[in-house]
């Protein structure tokens, strides 16, 4: 901590933009900012979203300043009447706005580089509150601003992520780092598949509740998302080495109770973990999908380097396609129905044989909303897996929710089935 | 508006939960609430997110109450020490919390129905601030609460969406409806593909800027998301009929300048619009994908009823798979490279012929991060389309961004190519 300069710890983030108060858009810049602020040791106390309104924003900044050492605003630095952030913040601290000739030249040069004259309206972006430090924006015309008054620092950043991110990193390096209390927040994310939130809580709560009694405290949050559970651990510490050792130990304790339900210890996605296992073993996979419609294959190919272990995938939606294109026996479909473990098995076996790889996956089910019956309601999905030993595994699961949720959960179950087989 | 009762117009939404202040999770309940509140004629002035901390939440509620007629909180109604919303709101208005025996019985009966004793800790959920109205929660143990004091109404809702949504609808019906100023907000969403945000703005700005001078005002917001642009129109009006007519007229004006770039007038997704066109014409489609890895097929099968028009899809990742499984000529790959219009065309033609349908799509490209060259950098994607007339259309596009972004944009371009062909 630099001596003589007030330390920074508590942060409030304010996202500015009327579109963020509609039913269509959430602020996500704050996720990036929180990650970066936490890594620097700062805590986010509150987030706010306000529209493009000078008075509303001014009162939000005033309230934020009373709770925080650092206020970060995003958005509202454009050139139109709707862009009120400069004005609002200046009014809170009673600062006069003055046009900065260097900023005007910079904006003009950006336009000229593209062969345009600078529209007069863009001069607004060069209006700088007195005493503010200017953060040069290499990706846009609006500079960021740093204002420090009345025991609070306020940083104004543009809304577009590609402009905001480098500007925040710049201001973090130049003005935030070295002004914390020396402690940083360290995090770890454990991904768990194949178990419900309640089950994960029952397994892990006896472990993590002990950590609240120890120093440094490790805080644990359980977040359930579609088809997986995440455990987020965090600890505040001045020493990176000690914090990492503490989190390593905590993770190990959880890994012991979670066993093979633990997908990853560092937030790595299921598809990426499966890809890594395939690569490690030098195995390749082929996938035949009905109800998931290509989603399993698409998720596996989201991982860079997937061409090493994916050969081919079939989406065989109709019975005819299952028979004619993939070679599933028509009699098997006739006898057991298209949604059956027998057909899932046949799809897996055909996918593997036709593409001459190590593993074959077959997924067939009823994604809904139509097509359900009393015996096989919407959400029923049959999964088949066949590996190098030609052992076949099949499962039938019933997933809740609407079509897209059923598809996603089925793809998650298929990938997790392959993961568990690769761990054996 | 009920006479003698203060009208409700300005709303502040407060999401409570420390997990919403981490880098991992955003509040999305507010999107649902905004949609419903707007439909009732209420405006969302501000959104806040605070952690599970009594004092922080109390100060947020106090500030919100000074800006709003209605404050909606979500979360923090559970049974643990972390659940502070009841306490915090009661403290703001100086209300005493008292256990409500009827609520205790109700919670107890919910546990008993599942064969459990009610844990003592759950009594906390029956602590009711004096004078609060209780909103019976049929999907959880925490009741919602309605408190009206000091010229502001505060409604406390549980965090889980499946509990919150029916409770909000209940309170809207019983306590909000009929207390507005009689005007409601009506919205329309136009989806546009194949054009940049700047281009859409150039086309539409001369049209919508006129609307600001007319009564009732129609407000327009342009939102750019990956591979498409959305225009959100809204108007405030006492008469639904007039508002709908006004929005119909506005939409028509925009449709005239947007032409075939307009995908839908009511927020319908590109894949759904394509599905509708296929169904209308009685056409079926088959898709052969390389770099998109099944994503085009998966998106088309996200639409209910897709089995009517999708027969099959191939993901042919390796050259060998393209040749052996799909029947692309090895010489074509040799001569032009796997990422070429010639191969995209061959993939489309083979997909169509092998599955004996009306349209075939072929997508081949370099999703990255590896595999790029000077001539064909990462992001280069070749698209092929062949229809019932056997006319072949091919395109090469270069998409910016990382692997998943390239995949999505390529799938968007493929679907849009099919959409435009179906409009001819």
The DSSP code sequence of A129-151 is ETTPEEE--TTSSPPEEEEEETT
Residues of B in contact with A21 (CB under 8 A): 34, 44-47
| Residue after which a domain boundary falls, among A147, A176, A205 | A176
Residues of A in contact with B31 (CB under 8 A): 23-24, 26
* A350 contact B CB<8A: no
Domain membership flag for residue A300: yes
Are both B294 and B414 inside the same structural domain?
yes
Q: Do A25 and B223 touch (CB under 8 A)?
A: yes
Q: Model confidence over A72-110: pLDDT tens digits?
A: 999 999 988 889 999 999 999 999 999 999 999 999 999
Are both B161 and B55 inside the same structural domain?
yes
CATH of the domain at A312: 3.90.950.20
* B165 contact A CB<8A: no
- How much is the CA Rg of chain A, to the nearest whole Å? 27
Residues of A in contact with B32 (CB under 8 A): 23
| Residue after which a domain boundary falls, among A220, A244, A264 | A264
- Of B221, B294, B370, which has the smallest distance from its Cβ to A305's Cβ? B370
B185, closest residue in chain A (CA to CA): A22
pLDDT greater than 70 at residue A253: yes
CA atoms of A160 and A138, how far apart (whole Å)? 13
Are both B125 and B90 inside the same structural domain?
yes
Determine the pLDDT at residue A2. Answer: 43
Are both B248 and B124 inside the same structural domain?
no
How many residue contacts between A and B have a Cβ separation below 8 Å?
214
Domain membership flag for residue A2: no
Q: Do A298 and B301 touch (CB under 8 A)?
A: no
Q: Do A293 and B287 touch (CB under 8 A)?
A: no
Domain range holding B18? 10-176
Q: Cis before residue B264, ω within 30 degrees of 0?
A: no
Are both B189 and B297 inside the same structural domain?
no
Range A313-321 average pLDDT: 94
Determine the pLDDT at residue B197. Answer: 86
Determine the pLDDT at residue A3. Answer: 44
Closest CA to A272 of A237, A297, A303: A303
Are both A172 and A192 inside the same structural domain?
no
pLDDT greater than 80 at residue A219: yes
Residues of B in contact with A370 (CB under 8 A): 304-305
Domain membership flag for residue B85: yes
Are both A53 and A168 inside the same structural domain?
yes
Are both B247 and B392 inside the same structural domain?
no
Are both A80 and A219 inside the same structural domain?
no
pLDDT greater than 70 at residue A4: no
* B39 contact A CB<8A: no
User: Mean pLDDT of all residues in chain A?
Assistant: 94
Q: Which residues make beta-bridge pairs with A101?
A: none
* A355 contact B CB<8A: yes
CA distances from residue A212 to A190, A220, A233, B121 in whole angstroms, order as listed: 18, 9, 12, 19
DSSP 3-state of B69: coil
| Residue after which a domain boundary falls, among A264, A293, A308 | A264
* A290 contact B CB<8A: no
- In chain B, which residues have pLDDT < 70? 1-4
* B321 contact A CB<8A: yes
The DSSP code sequence of A278-337 is HHHHT--EEEEESTTTTHHHHHHTTSTTGGGTEEEEEEE-SHHHHHHTT---HHHHHHH-
* A289 contact B CB<8A: yes
Q: Do A354 and B325 touch (CB under 8 A)?
A: yes
Domain membership flag for residue B1: no
Q: Do B19 and A302 touch (CB under 8 A)?
A: no
Binning pLDDT at 50, 70 and 90, where does residue A381 land? very high
Are both B226 and B322 inside the same structural domain?
no
Instruction: For chain A, give percent helix, strand, coil, nearest 5.
Output: 45, 25, 35
DSSP 3-state of A90: helix
Domain membership flag for residue A3: no
Are both A40 and A81 inside the same structural domain?
yes
CATH of the domain at A233: 3.30.70.600
Q: Model confidence over B251-271: pLDDT tens digits?
A: 999 999 999 999 999 999 999
Closest CA to B49 of B57, B58, B59, B38: B57
For chain B, the domain total comes to: 3
What letters, b where the CB count within 10 A reaches 16 and e where it falls short, cover B52-91? bbeebbbbbbbbbbebbbbbbbbbbbbbeeebbbbbbbbb
* A81 contact B CB<8A: no
Pairing of strands A152-157, A144-149: antiparallel
Q: Do A19 and B306 touch (CB under 8 A)?
A: no
Domain membership flag for residue A139: yes
A322, closest residue in chain B (CA to CA): B312
CA atoms of A30 and A271, how far apart (whole Å)? 26
Token pair listed for B59? 């100060």
Measured in angstroms, the CA of B296 and the nearest CA of chain A are apart by 8
pLDDT greater than 60 at residue A1: no
Q: Do A45 and B44 touch (CB under 8 A)?
A: no
CA atoms of B298 and A315, how far apart (whole Å)? 9
Are both A290 and A349 inside the same structural domain?
yes
């Amino acid at each position: 901590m630099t001596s003589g300069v007030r330390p920074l710890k508590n942060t409030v983030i304010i996202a500015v933009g009327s579109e963020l108060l509609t039913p269509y858009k959430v602020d996500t810049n704050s996720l990036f900012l929180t990650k970066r602020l936490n890594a620097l040791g700062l805590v986010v106390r509150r987030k706010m979203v306000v529209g493009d309104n000078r008075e509303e924003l001014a009162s939000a900044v005033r309230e934020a300043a009373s709770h925080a050492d650092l206020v970060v605003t995003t958005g509202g630095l454009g050139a139109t009447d709707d862009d009120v952030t400069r004005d609002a913040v200046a009014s809170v601290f009673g600062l006069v706005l003055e046009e900065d000739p260097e900023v005007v030249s910079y904006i003009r040069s950006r336009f000229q580089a593209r062969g345009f004259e600078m529209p007069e309206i863009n001069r607004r972006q060069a209006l700088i509150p007195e005493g503010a430090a200017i953060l040069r924006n290499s990706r846009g015309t609006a500079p960021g601003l740093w204002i420090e008054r009345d025991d609070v620092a306020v940083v104004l950043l543009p809304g577009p992520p590609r402009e905001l991110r480098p500007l925040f990193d710049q201001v973090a390096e130049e003005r935030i780092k070295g002004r914390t209390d020396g402690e940083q927040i360290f995090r770890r994310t454990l991904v768990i598949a194949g178990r419900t939130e309640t089950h994960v809580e029952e397994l892990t709560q006896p472990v993590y509740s002990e950590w609240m009694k120890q120093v440094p405290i490790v805080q644990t949050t359980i977040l359930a998302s579609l088809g997986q559970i995440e455990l987020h651990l965090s600890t505040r510490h001045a020493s990176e080495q000690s914090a990492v050792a503490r989190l390593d130990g905590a993770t190990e304790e959880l890994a012991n109770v979670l066993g093979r339900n633990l997908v990853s210890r560092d937030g790595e996605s299921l598809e990426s973990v499966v890809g890594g296992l395939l690569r490690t073993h030098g195995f390749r996979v082929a996938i035949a999908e009905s109800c998931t419609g290509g989603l399993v294959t698409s998720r596996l190919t989201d991982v860079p380097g997937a061409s090493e272990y994916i050969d081919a995938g079939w989406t065989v939606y109709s019975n005819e396609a299952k028979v004619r294109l993939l070679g599933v026996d028509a009699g098997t479909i006739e006898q057991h129905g298209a949604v059956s473990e027998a057909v899932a098995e046949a799809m897996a076996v055909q996918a593997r044989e036709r593409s001459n790889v190590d593993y074959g996956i077959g997924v067939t089910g009823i994604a809904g909303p139509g097509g359900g019956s009393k015996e096989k309601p919407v959400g029923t999905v049959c999964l088949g897996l066949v590996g190098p030993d030609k052992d076949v595994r099949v499962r039938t699961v019933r997933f809740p929710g609407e079509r897209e949720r059923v598809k996603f959960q089925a793809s998650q179950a298929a990938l997790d089935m392959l993961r568990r087989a690769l761990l054996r």
